Structure 1
Amino acid sequence: MPHQNFQHCIDECNACAVACEHCAASCLSEPNVHEMAECIRLDLDCAAMCRMASAYMARGSRFAKDLCNLCATACEACGAECERHAAQHCQECAQACRRCAQACRAMA
């Protein structure tokens, strides 16, 4: 089954998507929500990209490697933004993004 070759990357993408969704929702509850707008946007973009990359790998798509390169780029951008914020959910998201970007680069 083709997805078994990508299982580590699939797992990292899924974990990152969850972390990004959690971060976005948590950012919406911050008292300075207007300052978190870019973080929320990148969280949502990154989560969507991670879910798409995971699906492409799961079905063994010939475009999986290309999508994983793009996913790594999105993860790096999201992680860099999240690192700028002290909130625990942002720091946890940044860590998940770094792990996912690394896995995606290795897979691609």
Structure 2
Amino acid sequence: MNSNLSCIEACQKCAAACEVCLDAMINQQSGNDCPRCCRECIDICLLCAHSIARNGKFTDQICRLCADICEWCAAQCEVHDHYYCQACAEACRQCTQECGAVAACY
């Protein structure tokens, strides 16, 4: 259960970092899928945290999808030098690791 709690925390931190990045980048030229990826990442991270907390039937699949979306978002945001994009990418990478570990346990 400890890894589940750390995954929930990682998902929540990732969603918050993505909200900051999305807000900062919403009216800026990006050249890639940032900030669009942040919106997708926020939604899946919150869904993943909820699914883990309630021991949902599809938690493993949601965690795998969350890891994939977080990996995509990290790749998009890390190319920008803005501190909020870098923080978002870092939170996404951590979430990818945590979600992958939880998904492997199911």
TM-score normalised per structure 2: 0.91
- Looking at structure 2, the residues matched to 43 and 5 of structure 1 have their Cα atoms a distance apart, in angstroms, of 24
Alpha-carbon offset, residue 5 of structure 1: 5.8
Task: Give identity over the alignment, percent.
Answer: 38
Q: Is the 8 A contact 1:20 1:43 kept in 2?
A: yes
Change in Cα spacing, 1:5 to 1:87, as seen in structure 2 (3 Å) is closer
Moved over 4 A (4+): none
Structure 1 unaligned spans of 5+: none
- Looking at structure 2, the residues matched to 83 and 5 of structure 1 have their Cα atoms a distance apart, in angstroms, of 26
Indicate the structure with greater helix content: 1
* Equivalent position of 2:93 in the other structure: 98
SS at match of 1:12: helix
Number of aligned positions between the proteins: 103
* AA of the residue aligned to 1:20: C
Alpha-carbon offset, residue 38 of structure 1: 1.7
* AA of the residue aligned to 2:5: Q
TM-score normalised per structure 1: 0.89
Q: Is the 8 A contact 2:67 2:95 kept in 1?
A: yes
Structure 2 unaligned spans of 5+: none
- Looking at structure 2, the residues matched to 5 and 75 of structure 1 have their Cα atoms a distance apart, in angstroms, of 18
* Equivalent position of 1:14 in the other structure: 12
Q: What are the within-5 Å matches in structure 2 for residues 1-108 of structure 1?
A: 6-28=4-26, 33-35=28-30, 38-108=33-103
